Amino acid sequence: MLALSERTPAETKSQASGASLVIQLARLGDFLQTTPLLAALGKPHVLVTPAQAPLALACRHRERVLIMDPATLEDAARAGESPRLRLARLGGLLEPLAGLAVGEVYNLNLSGLCAGLASLWPRAGLHGWRWQEGRMAGEAWSPFLMHLVADRRLTRLHLSDILASYAAPQGPPLERLEHRVEPAARQKARELLPAGRPLAALQLGANNDLRRWPVASFARLARGLLAQGVGLALVGSARERVLARRLLRDLGAAGQEVRDLMGRTDLPTLAAVLEACDLTVSADTGSLHLATAVGSRVLALFMGPAQVHETGPYGHGHLVLQARDQCGPCQEHAPVCQGAAPCRRLITPQAALRAALALLGGVSASRASAGLSLPAGVEALAGEMDAFGQRYRQLNARPLTVGDGLALALREAGRLLLRPDYVFEDGLVGRELAQGYSAPSQETSRQLAGLAGAAARLAAACHGSDADAARRVMAQAPGLKPLALTAGPQAPAGLSHACRAASAVLAMASGGGEGAARGRRVECGKID
Amino acid sequence: MDYLETNLAALARRQPDLARDLANAAPDPQAILEPSRQGPPALRLGQIRLTSTVDPVREGLSLAKTAPPGPLACLGFGLGYHLEPLAGRDLVVWEPNPGLLRLAFSARDLSGLLPRLRLVVEADKLGDLRGRGMFLHRPSARLYPLEARGLARRLADEAALGRPRPARPRVLVVPPVWGGSLPIAYWCAEALADLGCEVFTVPIDCLEPLHRLLRESKGDLVRQDKMQASLVRFLGELTVLLAEEFQPHLVFAMAQAPLAAQAVEALNRLGAPTAFWFIENYRHMDYFRHLASAYSHFFHIQGAALEEELDRLGAKHHFLPVAAHPPIHRPLELSKADYARYYAPVGFMGHGYPNRRLVFARLARKGLPLGIWGTAWPQREPFAGLVREKGRRLESGEVVKVYNACQVVLNLHSSPTADDGVARADFVNPRTFEVAACGGFQLVDRVAGLEKLFAPGRELAVFGSEDEMLEMARHYLANPEERARIAQAGRRRVLNEHTYYHRMERILSICLGPADQAEPNDRARPSAAAKDQAAYAILHSLAQTEAVGLN
């Protein structure tokens, strides 16, 4: 399979002329996480949901904003009406889009509906998810990602960076997500917020209770912040007001000082409120990403299905407390704990308070995490940007595990697959290993060394496009499945190099980061 | 000799109720029985002869020969001469005058005929006439021209019901020359085309500039009316001419279409059903009385009071509220310049009817941040500062921008009487559907029938008084999330039930029979328009996969 994005320039020329169009019909936060791609593409048109539209309109990296509610397409397609009527209804919703001149379409959503939408421009080049011979197909590297996220403990590629990779940028297109705050919204925010003291926004809710820090914990955090003279604003949607009521009841008289803005701000005003705050404390939510996009610092509290490496706060300087039970990150709709979610109580209010006060004091995430008493199962991580994009530095050093080594190896392999221009520098990875982890146990070291050898064999198999040999390696080293199952005639360019980079990382991990001094550079297309 | 008892007994074997009614009926005093020259009795009603006065038996035989083959629906009993030769056939005979029937029963021995047919006096007892050919007793048809027209239309309709809808029905659309229903006519035409019809829209609105000269002329009104009549006659004849060439399966005329009853009759004679959509307030637009029964189907937007009137007129009528057109009425990306032009915290777009002037003036004085677009608004305060775009008429595209830009869109149904204030109309105006389809948040007055089309409070906000309107506007201005939730639910309701696709499908179903349940494959062809191919792809993709977010 030759992905359309890999067409030669001559073939690309034969496509319809017109601007690029990015289809992003997922949640609010997903639009913000798409802004690096928009920046890399240079002002494409965007097709977004009505809920995302205010964000898109305020984004400077887009041309036109087209609005489509996917639920309306689903309604029309699934209605119990005659096929003629259903098709006419669908056609009526699609008609305003069909007239747009589009040269390249980037469909970011793994959904048959969005792939159907992408077929509105049959002469355009298609990137991302589309229908191909009756099946959903993505980029050549998509199978690697799909196999990678099957075990989410191993994912170290951030969604924003994956999305930006559609444009194959040479480095991160943006240092943080971006949202432009309107002056009128800024004025409204000033009216809503108390003036003249450090301000923190608390986002109590999340789209799934498994991701949500308990209200009682938030109440203790709030009490501590208020006691230190920090002004507080509660942000979130009207549906989450019940959480605000519980928190305010818990706070008693102290709650009178808290500005409850839940459900009382539209998106532009919410953005301005977050911009005015010195810190936002939130789980994995749209507000969290909006806070980073307006330049507010974030204390992110991740738990349940939330995985910081996938959707953590994008940019430098944010502090993340990631609670991870043995089962985490779990499946959103089928958690092992059946909703009991013991991981939600792992992050203590005391630790969150101490970290929040330190961040409000202007210290780095690394210093803010110093001295935090974190129980087993909670990691402190600092957001950092590197030559590819986002990564999170482990702040509370612990012994390296096989999973850690494998995750880093797959990250570097993935980066090489996603961006042909990415340069793998083992020195940097070696330093990361050395700073974030203490030396692995002997057994771990032995296993990592075994994986390093397997990855080297996999590189040889991939070099010869020998899918059978790759499967045999996978049988011996199941952790390498995302790479092994990507092998074959339709493999992405550079798979063999990616496997060699993975092997190098695993070898370093086996030695506890030793070997980094060699400073080897592995560039796609230059290693062999 | 009087045969009444014998005949009533024969009739009673099959139709005892009718036999009882006829026994109690009085003979028509104007009807006269007299012997024909050949002897058998002849019948006339005043000066109208209902049988031959020379040889009624022979006349009956020759009339019977004109009957189409198969089961028959016959108008007119006369003295039964024309029915006796057809006694072996499946016969339904409609004689609207019981007094004449009673006389016929007295005049002749019909005991051999009566058990072999079904006799009907009241039209609503005609029952299912599908598969019957029409047989007119010509002298009776002269006596009952309206009934003859009604029976012909009914047989045509029922024949159409029996037939499957053509795979690609040809629909002739007749729009008005100008006015609010003109864009709706074009949206209907688009919807019909998207529903697989071959549509020909008579470009009547090309005459709008000329028509404007006429209606804005300061000349003699009588002369203007004459010219208007000439124009209507010309456009009617032109439409018939075009219909003869196009051979439509359905003629669809929109309110204010310039077709007189004669033109509609001529279109009916082409054999296709004719439909009229009267999207006006019947209390102020009474022209419908001259047209309603001429059309095969009369669609309207009002309730029981109008339906009683239509029943009296003998029209075949159907309630069909207006709707929105999704390609036009949709959420838009507005430029900053557009926002500056079309934004107000609380906006209204429409004609300055007296009740609206009264209510909005009071609301403005109470400090509601109101912006008004549309025509016929006074220049004086408080309107001088509220009316935007110099009170000019806005195009459909601009109207959609107003509905998109304003935080709260007011919708107050019109009344020509200022005193009505919040008028409690008995119809739902197009604005109700259009604002919702745009994803706008709407504050609408409580009108009869609204609750059958929307869930008040959940899909749009409804007020019952001026005070309530003011209070609700202030509440929703302060609660953007509630506004957004209601607007989104309203849009989905419109898209799911109240589009011109739905309305046109209903008209097609009523006029041409139910839709084919098989999937049309013309949308999947490479030659099909991109939107049709994408629609097809989406229809199929949802059957194959469930949406999955990447994260």
Q: Is residue B326 part of a domain?
A: no
Residue A264: the pLDDT is 87
Residue B124: the pLDDT is 73
Select from B134, B162, B190 the last residue of a domain.
Answer: B162
Of A72, A86, A117, the CB nearest to B534: A117
pLDDT in tens, B186-220: 999 999 999 999 999 999 999 999 999 998 998 88
pLDDT in tens, B41-91: 999 988 889 999 999 999 999 999 988 888 999 999 999 999 999 988 899
Count of the separate structural domains present in chain B: 4
Tell me the nearest-neighbour CA distance from B86 into chain A, angstroms. Answer: 43
Query: Which ipTM was obtained for this model?
Result: 0.83
Residues of chain B with pLDDT > 70, as a percent, come to: 97
| DSSP reduced 3-state for A22 | strand
Measured between beta carbons, the chain B residues lying within 8 angstroms of A310 are 551
Region A191-212: what's the mean pLDDT? 91
Closest listed residue to residue A339, CA positions, set A373, A304, A371, A308: A304
Mark whether B312 and B377 lie in a shared domain: no
Mark whether B205 and B266 lie in a shared domain: yes
Residue A315: the pLDDT is 97
Mark whether B27 and B75 lie in a shared domain: yes
Residue A17: the pLDDT is 61
Region B3-10: what's the mean pLDDT? 93
Residue A319: the pLDDT is 98
Residue B41: the pLDDT is 94
pLDDT in tens, B82-109: 999 998 889 999 999 999 999 999 999 9
Mark whether B92 and B192 lie in a shared domain: no
pLDDT in tens, A463-490: 988 899 999 999 999 999 999 999 988 8
Q: Is residue B74 part of a domain?
A: yes
DSSP states of A127-181:
EESEEETTEEE--TTHHHHHHHTTSGGG----HHHHHHGGG--SS-S-SS---PP
User: Does pLDDT of A123 surpass 60?
Assistant: yes
Measured between beta carbons, the chain B residues lying within 8 angstroms of A284 are none
Region A172-185: what's the mean pLDDT? 95
Q: Is residue B512 part of a domain?
A: no
Measured between beta carbons, the chain A residues lying within 8 angstroms of B532 are 87, 91
pLDDT in tens, B215-235: 899 888 999 999 999 999 999
Distance CA A453, CA B44 (A): 114
Q: Which two tokens stand for residue A76?
A: 């029309």
| Structural domain harbouring B307 | 170-319
User: Does pLDDT of A521 surpass 50?
Assistant: no
Q: Inter-chain contact B535–A113, Cβ cutoff 8 Å? A: no
Region B12-26: what's the mean pLDDT? 90
Mark whether B474 and B546 lie in a shared domain: no
Mark whether B139 and B59 lie in a shared domain: yes
Select from B162, B189, B210 the last residue of a domain.
Answer: B162
Of B330, B517, B547, the CB nearest to A112: B547
pLDDT in tens, A206-264: 988 899 999 999 999 999 999 999 999 999 998 899 999 999 999 999 999 999 999 88
Chain-wide mean pLDDT for chain A? 90
Select from B119, B137, B162 the last residue of a domain.
Answer: B162
Mark whether B135 and B278 lie in a shared domain: no
φ/ψ of A61, rounded to 5, equals -100, 30
Mark whether B487 and B341 lie in a shared domain: yes
CATH code, B138: 3.40.50
pLDDT in tens, B145-188: 778 877 887 787 776 666 788 999 999 999 999 999 999 999 99
Distance CA B367, CA B365 (A): 5
User: Which residue does chain B place closest to A83, by CA atoms?
Assistant: B519
Residue B148 and residue B265 in contact, taking contact as beta carbons nearer than 8 Å: no
Closest listed residue to residue B508, CA positions, set B195, B268, B201, B248: B195
Residue B208: the pLDDT is 95
Mark whether B350 and B289 lie in a shared domain: no
Residue that wins the pLDDT comparison between B524 and A371: A371
Mark whether B353 and B228 lie in a shared domain: no
Mark whether B135 and B214 lie in a shared domain: no
> How many beta carbons lie within 10 A of that of residue A340, not counting itself?
10
Region B342-347: what's the mean pLDDT? 97
Q: Inter-chain contact B478–A74, Cβ cutoff 8 Å? A: no
Q: Is residue B392 part of a domain?
A: yes
pLDDT in tens, A349-381: 999 999 999 999 999 999 999 989 899 899 999
Mark whether B176 and B243 lie in a shared domain: yes
Q: Is residue B62 part of a domain?
A: yes
Q: Is residue B507 part of a domain?
A: no
Q: Is A317 left (phi over 0), alpha (psi -120 to 50) or beta?
A: left
Residue A242: the pLDDT is 94
Residue B453 and residue B321 in contact, taking contact as beta carbons nearer than 8 Å: yes
Q: Inter-chain contact B501–A85, Cβ cutoff 8 Å? A: yes
Q: Is residue B198 part of a domain?
A: yes
Structural domains of chain A in order of their starting residue, each with its CATH number: 4-167 (3.40.50.2000), 183-385 (3.40.50.2000), 399-523 (no CATH)
DSSP character at residue A444: H
CATH code, B177: 3.40.50.2000
Residues of chain B with pLDDT > 90, as a percent, come to: 70
Q: Is residue B509 part of a domain?
A: no
Distance CA A328, CA A337 (A): 10
Residue A341: the pLDDT is 80
Q: Inter-chain contact A136–B545, Cβ cutoff 8 Å? A: yes
